[in-house]
Amino acid sequence: MSLKCGIVGLPNVGKSSLFNALSNAGAESANFPFCTIDPNVGIVPVPDERLDRIAGLVQPKNVTPTSIEFVDIAGLVKGASEGKGKGNAFLSHIREVDLIIHVVRCFEDDDVTHVEGGIDPVRDIGIIESELLFKDLETLERREERMKKMAKSGDKTIQNHVHILGNLRQHIEKGNPVRSWKDWDPSHPALQELFMLTAKKVLYLCNVDEADLPDGAGNEHVMKVKEHAASEGTDALAVCAKIEAEIAELNDQEKAEFLASLNLRESGLNRLISAAYRKLGLITFFTAGPKEVRAWTVPEGTKAPQAAGVIHSDFERGFIRAETIAYHDFISYGSESAAREAGKMRSEGRGYTVKDGDVLLFRFNV
């Protein structure tokens, strides 16, 4: 499956600079609002040392990581929900992503203009959230108005749908995001295809100076963002877009040395991807053979036939069994054959739930 993350934030908070560093896609970055008009898209291979270690043992012709898609959505401003700053077009792009990466500026720099005149990341978060809420309310009111007209026929089901929509509207009108509504279920007939923007899960990314790495512990702005994130049950990461840009230009050895010099265990990209996977409940399994060692992404709780279907629909349709080796067993024994001889390869059926790190060989017949 393809993971799609939308990078949002006010203008000049470092979104495009961060996007360039993460995707190395060369998105334009400049010190003026609306530098990004159409969303830039970058497909980024997901770094996973487990894939590298498996490939080191198997020595395949090809090694294929799973990937994550970053979409750099233009900076939003007050009034975006009403079309200000081309806001309607920008908001529509958010509907297409799985996760919102909300970048907030947590650094001081007189040479970089802030669209609101000063640094206050919690205020900035509120501006973006309000615009998304206004857009959701507009979408919901249109649906509710249509349903009310249909409910005049006396249809009890439609009347119930109107009641549900009204409850959601009241929740939004209090300034609450859809994701915090206890009854939110996008599969419910009344709520299908509403595409609520504030139903999206969110991660906050604090753009800081190098001196505030690795976690922004001494930065009061970061601490406030982390408190806000905790109140929403999500996470906030501190990264330095400038440092990430430098890291992106280095080879593996230089990157390791540079990170060590900054007392960083891993890059901001790695930490962001790990956090995104956790937030969306995703895991990785592997396939390994002489032609290719490959990583695959599936939601946590995926059964073996559905995991096989990620590779090819025929694998799911004709699924017989999944020959499974836990990652640590594969590494410990050094090969599939050695793990099999040691009794570490298991034959799992349709009811098997794939585990993170499983090395799988699917048997199927079509």
**Mean pLDDT score of the chain:** 88
Instruction: Give a yes or no: residue 339 inside a domain.
Output: yes
Specify the pairing of strand 3-8 against strand 62-64: unpaired
Mean pLDDT of 14-27: 71
Indicate the length of the chain as a whole number.
366
Q: Kindly tell me if the per-residue pLDDT of 24 is higher than 70.
A: no
Look at residue 198 in the predicted model and tell me its pLDDT: 94
CB count within 10 Å of CB 201 equals 16
* Cα separations in angstroms, 69 against 171, 198, 276, 281: 32, 20, 11, 16
13 and 112 Cβ atoms separated by less than 8 Å: no
Look at residue 240 in the predicted model and tell me its pLDDT: 92
Confidence of residue 40 (pLDDT cuts 50, 70, 90): confident
Instruction: Give a yes or no: residue 255 inside a domain.
Output: yes
Look at residue 86 in the predicted model and tell me its pLDDT: 46
Exposed (0-12), middle (13-18) or buried (19+): which is 331, by Cβ within 10 Å? middle
Q: Does the annotation flag 92 for ligand binding?
A: no
Query: Residue 296 in 3-state DSSP?
Result: strand
Instruction: Give a yes or no: residue 56 inside a domain.
Output: no
Look at residue 38 in the predicted model and tell me its pLDDT: 52
Q: Kindly tell me if the per-residue pLDDT of 361 is higher than 70.
A: yes
Residues 183 and 226 in one domain: no
Mean pLDDT of 188-216: 92
Q: Kindly tell me if the per-residue pLDDT of 201 is higher than 60.
A: yes
Q: HEC string of 28-39?
A: CCCCCCCCCCCC
Q: Does the annotation flag 17 for ligand binding?
A: yes
Q: Does the annotation flag 14 for ligand binding?
A: yes
Summarised one tens digit per residue, pLDDT across range 121-139 is 999 999 999 988 998 999 9
Summarised one tens digit per residue, pLDDT across range 315-348 is 999 999 999 999 999 999 999 999 999 999 999 9
Look at residue 144 in the predicted model and tell me its pLDDT: 95
**When comparing pLDDT for 56 and 19, which is higher?**
56
Q: Which residue range(s) make up the domain with 262?
A: 3-48+66-116+199-279
Token representation of residue 258: 């540079």
Query: Residue 83 in 3-state DSSP?
Result: coil
Residues 134 and 253 in one domain: no
Cα 130 to Cα 136: distance, rounded to the nearest angstrom: 10
State how many domains the chain has: 3
Q: Does the annotation flag 15 for ligand binding?
A: yes
Residues 102 and 9 in one domain: yes
Token representation of residue 1: 């499956």
Cα 366 to Cα 361: distance, rounded to the nearest angstrom: 16
Summarised one tens digit per residue, pLDDT across range 264-280 is 888 888 889 889 999 99
